[in-house]
Amino acid sequence: MSLYEEILSQEAKVSVIGLGYVGMPLAVAFAKKVNVIGFDLNKRKIDMYKSGIDPTNEVGNEIIKQSTVEFTTEESRLKESKFLIVAVPTPINTDKTPDLSPVEGASAIVGKNLTRGSIVVFESTVYPGVTEDVCIPILEKESGLKCGVDFKVGYSPERINPGDKVHTLENIIKIVSGIDNESAEEISKVYGLIIKAGIHKASSIKVAEAAKVVENSQRDINIAFMNELAMVFDRMGINTNEVIEAMNTKWNALKFYPGLVGGHCIGVDPYYFLYEAERLGYHSQIILSGRKINDGMGEFIASSIIKKLILANKKVKQAKVYIMGLTFKENCPDIRNTKVIDIISSLEEYGIKPIVIDPQADKEEAKHEYGIEVASFEDVSNADCLVFAVAHKEFKSLSLNEIGNMFADVNNNEKVIIDVKSVLDRVEVETKGYNYWTL
């Protein structure tokens, strides 16, 4: 009997190691078909899942309550499963080099609890070679087993888009790979239980690893191009969105927009690719330039805020500035690698202490990760400047009258609105005489 058949007949379990924005939806999806163990080191997170609370908002509280996933922090429970999926984050260090400690730690935990006949699949984003050169040796060392003989390994890059309710896990084509054809086929069958969009079998693990970092690097470069255009158009006095609207009338326009590029994928993955390329003696021109542009957008937006405050006759150091949104993208509580922090840090260099409003972000996490006290809508008053940094639905639903009431009682031309994501109707705002700027 194959492992796929054992899983299907519930003689073997699936384990998901790392229950964040990627692992948790994966575990829940598999639990609809087979027996699943969901493992994470974070006891607070596990307790929330057990209580029926979804802190990621990816599947929702009701689905979590109904799910049969066996949530646990006990690593020994992993011995009960034969198909183990590693979905831990792979961040970068302060010097922009890959931080492989989470995936190395997960490999050690899996290795200590690995049994013969198992398949380990890594979903964490890495540069080509990490699965075979870093993870497999750890698995072998901790388990005392031999890869290819006693257990198999594969790689299947996560492609989940946090907060996206259309392009969900089941609706995204799944790339799979294995150390040999047999493992690739078995992995393909297991993922086929939950993936409706179809499976793409890559020819090797390295090809699958490269596909993930390249697809995000491509997006990063395209957004960097639009960001560079936005900075130039700002000097030219041209509205970037009007240019894009005109350009997008052509059938082959790529429809990218300027903005802050953060999060756990697009703002990180290119550095993994760059690291390995440079290690092999190739120094990137395009990818690195794109990263520099996108990493500098927070500072550019902050300088635009300062200019607008000065033009509105505000005393910069005393200006009451509200940052509307902290998460790395709209309608998502994820604050990992958010570039809104760059705006805040730059403003602080000018002596401004901005107040952050975000109805989606976890206040406790924001305090722990960035030392930021997230305020509530009710706290917004007597503002000199509102910075719409994230296009949350709560911000988009605000009327211009409601926004106007958040400011101090002054003329509209002294009320500064910075609309990074074009949340507001520019014509309406400018017609009312507000001091308005958009990226």
* DSSP assignment string, 261-301: --TTTTTTHHHHHHHHHHHTT---SHHHHHHHHHHTHHHHH
Provide the 3-class DSSP secondary structure of residue 436: strand
Reading phi first (left if > 0) and then psi (alpha if -120 to 50, else beta), residue 382 is in left
Question: What pLDDT, on the 0 to 100 scale, is given for residue 30?
Answer: 97
Overall average pLDDT of the 153-161 stretch = 91
For 165-175, b/e burial (b = at least 16 CB within 10 A) is eeebbeebebb
Question: What pLDDT, on the 0 to 100 scale, is given for residue 167?
Answer: 79
User: What confidence tier does 210 reach under pLDDT thresholds 50, 70, 90?
Assistant: very high
Tokens of 106: 């997960």
Question: What pLDDT, on the 0 to 100 scale, is given for residue 265?
Answer: 83
Question: What pLDDT, on the 0 to 100 scale, is given for residue 244?
Answer: 94
Strands (E), 88-236: 119-122, 152-155, 174-178, 199-201
Which residue has better confidence, 422 or 163?
422
Percent of the chain's residues with pLDDT above 90 = 89
pLDDT, averaged across the chain: 94
Q: Mind telling me the catalytic residues?
A: 265
Gap between the Cα atoms of 262 and 265, Å rounded: 8
End-to-end CA distance of the chain: 58
Question: What pLDDT, on the 0 to 100 scale, is given for residue 433?
Answer: 94
Sequence spans of domains, the chain: 3-203, 296-438
Question: What pLDDT, on the 0 to 100 scale, is given for residue 174?
Answer: 97
3-203 and 296-438: same fold? yes
Question: 325 and 336 in contact (C-beta within 8 Å)?
Answer: no
The string of pLDDT tens digits covering residues 122-153 is 999 999 999 999 999 999 999 999 999 999 99
Provide the 3-class DSSP secondary structure of residue 147: strand
Tokens of 299: 């500072």
Provide the 3-class DSSP secondary structure of residue 417: strand
| Overall fold of domain 296-438 | Rossmann fold (3.40.50)
User: What confidence tier does 57 reach under pLDDT thresholds 50, 70, 90?
Assistant: confident
Gap between the Cα atoms of 308 and 310, Å rounded: 5
Phi, psi of 420, rounded to the nearest 5 degrees:
-60, -45
Place of tokens 């993955």: 269
User: What confidence tier does 46 reach under pLDDT thresholds 50, 70, 90?
Assistant: very high
Overall average pLDDT of the 148-177 stretch = 89
Please, is 43 exposed, middle or buried when counting C-beta atoms within 10 Å of its C-beta (0-12, 13-18, 19+)? exposed
Which residue has better confidence, 37 or 55?
37
Question: What pLDDT, on the 0 to 100 scale, is given for residue 160?
Answer: 80
User: What confidence tier does 109 reach under pLDDT thresholds 50, 70, 90?
Assistant: very high
Residue 262 in this model has a pLDDT that exceeds 90: no
Question: 226 and 257 in contact (C-beta within 8 Å)?
Answer: yes
| Overall fold of domain 3-203 | Rossmann fold (3.40.50)
The string of pLDDT tens digits covering residues 342-378 is 999 999 999 999 999 999 998 989 999 999 999 998 8
Give all strands of the β-sheet with 374-375 in edge-to-edge order: 374-375, 355-357, 321-324, 385-388, 416-419, 435-438
Question: What pLDDT, on the 0 to 100 scale, is given for residue 161?
Answer: 76
Question: What pLDDT, on the 0 to 100 scale, is given for residue 259?
Answer: 94
Contacts of 392 (CB under 8 A, 6+ apart): 324, 325, 327, 330, 331, 358, 359, 360
Question: What pLDDT, on the 0 to 100 scale, is given for residue 207?
Answer: 98
User: What confidence tier does 263 reach under pLDDT thresholds 50, 70, 90?
Assistant: confident
User: What confidence tier does 267 reach under pLDDT thresholds 50, 70, 90?
Assistant: confident
Question: What pLDDT, on the 0 to 100 scale, is given for residue 266?
Answer: 87
